[in-house]
Amino acid sequence: MSEQGAEVRRRRVFYIPGYDPIPPRRYRELYRKEGAAQAEISGYSLNLAPKKGRNFGWSVRGEIDGATTQSEIDVLVWSDIVQDSMEAGIFRTYLILARTAWIYISTGALSRLMKLRRGPVIAALYPIGVLLAQLLIALLLVWSITWIAGLMGAAWIGAALGLIAGYLLLRWFKAKDGKLFAYYLMHDYGFSARWRGANPPMLDARMAEFRAEIAEALTQDWDEILLVGHSSGAHLGVSILADLIRAGEVPEEGPALSFLTLGHVVPMVSYLPEAKVLRRDLAYLSTRDEIFWLDVTAPGDPCSFALCDPIKVSGVAPDGQKWPLVISAAFTQTLSPEKQATMKRRFFRRHFQYLCAFDRPGDYDYFKITSGGETLATRFGEAVPSPSRIDTPANKFTAMAEEGAE
């Protein structure tokens, strides 16, 4: 690999979204809008343009701190897999609810996750509570119509009408889920729980494609290859990079290889019994010299396991662990009270803040990282881990897959 501290004139960024059914152009528009806002606040320049290539993405020219840098940003898409996993009707969604709750409760994962951060666990319980409340309301409607019809001597007709009305009410709730996100979140947590922490075959195949893209870029004329994993995309990035290094696909004289994880939810998967491959990959990647790994979360993000060292809390920290460097985006310091007030009850907005502008910017700046003239190692090489980080190994399941096992 090239010198980690070298300046960057040409960068390739691979962005892995979390569990998100929305097309990738959303991320381009988010980058365009928030990048312009951050540039105005911080006094630098970002210019976006279309990008050629087989992946969706964009090109950005950054003029930051006296350096001019050209970055090509690719979105590694798995929204189609997410969409397929969400194509479940009302009845099947409630079956997914029952299965997911049973797996997390019966394995003890839920109680152990509560020892780390209550926020993301409450976020996981939220869709269960909302969906059960909707079901209860629908059942009360069925009972009410049946009871009233029974008083008129038409109980059977009332029961039939009540069932139709209850079903239509549940359909109405589902149609309004764009505001409540209960169905979306239920399918999110159900996606990992269905395989008890293992990756589904279709996702493994897509991750292999992502790895091939990154391996190819490492042979090209770039100064830095930066892999960014947000939310669920963080643990996908862990396994992709671990496989890449194991396969010997990181050239000694190639570009600097950097890894940025944002708002990770690693314990939601690594605490499940069959997450053996992920636990193995976490332990492996945490000692590697080929990368610089920065993990950024914030206690103000209730959907992430903020400041939790994903290696240590998963119970697989090896001797000689050096990654990740865990720091806080410190929302209470980097966002004005007015800005924080606009996100008070917007939990998803806070979960995406890592990709957005800060009106009181600190050390962490997504746009300087992806479009500035320094590698991740140069920018954060002297940073110290957050003193508030959590390293409690509360995981019951620490068995890891053998090397070479899928």
- HEC profile of 225-267: EEEEEECHHHHHHHHHHHHHHHCCCCCCCCCEEEEEEECCCHH
In degrees and rounded to multiples of 5, residue 97 shows phi and psi of -60, -50
> pLDDT at position 139, please?
94
Q: Two tokens at 310?
A: 């994903």
Q: Two tokens at 274?
A: 């069959």
Which positions ≥6 away from 365 have C-beta within 8 Å?
Answer: 38, 42, 358, 372
pLDDT reading at 107 higher than 50: yes
Helix, strand, coil abundance in the chain, percent, nearest 5: 50, 15, 35
Q: For residue 381, count CB atoms less than 10 angstroms from its CB and return exposed for 0-12, middle for 13-18, buried for 19 or more.
A: middle
Q: Which of 1-5, 216-220, 231-235 has the lowest mean pLDDT?
A: 1-5
> pLDDT at position 370, please?
98
Q: Two tokens at 237?
A: 């990035």
Residue-wise DSSP of 91-159: HHHHHHHHHHHHHHHHTSHHHHHHTT-HHHHHHHHHHHHHHHHHHHHHHHHHHHHHHHHHHTT-HHHHH
Check residues 264 and 344 and name the one with the higher pLDDT: 264
User: What is the mean predicted confidence (pLDDT) over 348-367?
Assistant: 95
Q: Please identify which residue in the block is written with the tokens 């320094």.
A: 374
Confidence of residue 5 (pLDDT cuts 50, 70, 90): very low
Which positions ≥6 away from 73 have C-beta within 8 Å?
Answer: 13, 15, 31, 51, 57, 58, 59, 60, 370
> pLDDT at position 288, please?
97
Residue type, 288: R
In degrees and rounded to multiples of 5, residue 374 shows phi and psi of -120, 145
The CA R_g of the chain, rounded to the nearest whole Å, is: 23
**Which of 319, 333, 328, 304 has its CA nearest to residue 387?**
328
What is the residue-averaged pLDDT of the chain?
92
User: How many angstroms separate the CA atoms of 100 and 189, rounded?
Assistant: 7
| pLDDT tens-digit map of 168-190 | 999 999 998 888 888 988 999 89
| pLDDT tens-digit map of 233-279 | 999 999 999 999 999 999 988 999 999 999 999 999 999 999 999 99
Confidence of residue 286 (pLDDT cuts 50, 70, 90): very high
DSSP element (H, E) containing 48? strand 45-50
Give the CA angle between residues 39, 369, 34 to the nearest 5°: 35
Give percent of the chain above pLDDT 90.
76
> pLDDT at position 150, please?
80
User: How many angstroms separate the CA atoms of 223 and 161, rounded?
Assistant: 67
- CA atoms 251, 253, 254, 256: torsion sign: positive
| pLDDT tens-digit map of 295-342 | 999 999 989 999 999 999 999 999 999 999 999 999 999 999 999 999
> pLDDT at position 406, please?
61
Which positions ≥6 away from 112 have C-beta within 8 Å?
Answer: 271, 394, 395, 396
> pLDDT at position 156, please?
85
